[in-house]
Amino acid sequence: MKVFILGGDGFCGWPTSLHLSALGHDVVIVDNLSRRAIDLELEAGSLTPIAPMGTRLKAWREVSGRSIRFERLDVAENYHRLLTLIQDERPDAIVHFAEQRAAPYSMKSSAHKRYTVHNNLIATHNVLAAIVESGIDVHLTHLGTMGVYGYGTAGMKIPEGYLPIEVVTDDGDRVQQEILYPSNPGSIYHMTKTQDQLFFAYYAKNDEVRITDLHQGIVWGTNTPETLLDERLVNRFDYDGDYGTVLNRFLMQAAVGYPLTVHGTGGQTRAFIHIRDTVRCIQLAIEHPPEQGERVRILNQMTETHRVRELAQKVAGLTGAQVSFTANPRKEDAENDLHVRNDLFLDLGLEPTTLDDGLLSEVTDVAKRYAHRADLEKIPCTSTWTRKQAAGVPEPTGDPAPA
């Protein structure tokens, strides 16, 4: 299969590109390297020393004998180059990772909100419009987020995208339908993903574009079998207060002796998936496309749920790290339960990598190995969700730490 990986220089996109190339697919990476530019803006970088794209691709050729091509273009700005690339290359599948993905970054200022909305929505719409204008039957797989659902339900498991409902007509008849699960985003970033869903529903209905939307949980871990083949292939590891996600941050903090930064009570429950399972899920998704005319296929791409304070306790138990309960810079529920269906990937053969598989120690080894590169000043989360929080007044939901 010929596959475009939009955002193929990023944390999920790079190991996915290598995995698909290793399987024999013809991979073309499309990326504007904006994530590397944001590293410069934030004066923060990957804990692991990621190589420039040219070095990465040369290393891959050397270790695998396979070539991946790279097109540097901005999916949100360079519509005609994107269209021409699709027309010339005629890909079978496009995997779309090319969005600004950090919730704290999206909340830093109105400029960051506007950038995130513009970049993510225009990028997604450009891909859809270009597929239709090309006239080529391309299967689009998009990386969405569990955060489109919000993180709470009335005790039920969150279904895969669609909620069965029953309505009563004026005649008293009971009619059953399935609707897109109601969106409840918790940041500007998450909001862009909820809006992406409407683009997908529309283009699947109107133009019969084949679309898979993967609602992914928080990705943890660093390396996959392919990125471990050569130091120059190492994946990025974000630990700073904007881009670092909670479990990888805790692992890195434990490695450098920094008390684990639990927000509020740590009662937030979230969904998780290891990066090795991410790349396998993408493979399964592109191997099982929907039919033309089918509604958007939505899968929950997560393998387990955990409460933040329990993750901290688990990491502390493994490493002896201290746990620090800090004021929550976000406006989010202090405590929530989360139950999620993920039958579709399990039915396709996914065998989840769990936290208990000993991989925590693998990540701790990565974190320890590169601990000397850490800038501890970049660890605190300084991006606040509201003006009140910015002025130092906690939101009622940002519970104070337990005694």
x/- site string to ligand NAD, residues 194 to 233, per CB under 6 A? ----------------------x-xx--------------
Q: Which of ligand USQ, ligand NAD, none does residue 370 bind to, with CB < 5 to 8 Å depending on kind? A: none
N-to-C CA span, the chain:
56
Alpha carbon of 18 to those of 60, 143, 302, 334, 343: distances in Å?
Answer: 8, 17, 21, 39, 26
On the CB side of 263, CA atoms within 13 Å amount to: 26
Sheet holding 304-307, edge to edge: 218-220, 269-274, 304-307
Active-site annotation holds for 193: yes
By CB under 6 A, is residue 331 in contact with ligand USQ? no
By CB under 6 A, is residue 217 in contact with ligand USQ? yes
Give min distance, CB of 61 to ligand NAD, in A: 20
Active-site annotation holds for 189: yes
Q: Which among 8-16, 176-184, 261-269, 354-362 is the span making contact with ligand NAD, rule CB under 6 A?
A: 8-16
Residue list 27-86, contact with ligand USQ (CB under 6 A): none
In the block, which residue shows the tokens 């209905």? Answer: 205
By CB under 6 A, is residue 13 in contact with ligand NAD? yes
Q: Using CA atoms, how far apart are residues 37 and 52, in angstroms rounded to an integer?
A: 12
Beta strands in 20-159 (DSSP E): 26-31, 69-72, 93-96, 139-145
Give min distance, CB of 382 to ligand NAD, in A: 19
* Residues 166 and 148: beta-carbon distance below 8 Å: no
Beta strands in 197-257 (DSSP E): 210-216, 218-220
By CB under 6 A, is residue 268 in contact with ligand USQ? yes
By CB under 6 A, is residue 258 in contact with ligand NAD? no
Active-site annotation holds for 378: no
Q: List beta partners, residue 325.
A: 262
Give min distance, CB of 394 to ligand NAD, in A: 26
Q: Which of ligand USQ, ligand NAD, none does residue 12 bind to, with CB < 5 to 8 Å depending on kind? A: ligand NAD
Considering only residues 107, 128, 246, 279, which one is a binding residue for ligand USQ as defined by CB under 6 A? 246
Q: List beta partners, residue 273.
A: 219
Query: 3-state DSSP helix/strand/coil percent for the chain, to nearest 5?
Result: 40, 20, 40
By CB under 6 A, is residue 125 in contact with ligand NAD? no
Q: Which is nearer to ligand NAD, 75 or 229 (CB)?
A: 75
Spatial neighbors of 175 by CB under 8 A, at least 6 apart, are 166, 167, 168, 169
Residue list 68-107, contact with ligand NAD (CB under 6 A): 74-76, 97-99, 101
Nearest to 141 by CA among 211, 191, 207, 188: 211
Q: Which of ligand USQ, ligand NAD, none does residue 263 bind to, with CB < 5 to 8 Å depending on kind? A: ligand USQ
Which sequence positions are flagged as catalytic? 145, 189, 193
* Binding residues for ligand NAD (CB under 6 A): 7, 9-13, 31-35, 74-76, 97-99, 101, 119, 123, 143, 145, 216, 218-219, 245
Q: What residue ranges bind ligand USQ (CB under 6 A)?
A: 101-103, 145-147, 217-218, 245-246, 249, 261-263, 266, 268, 270-271, 308, 328, 330, 332, 381
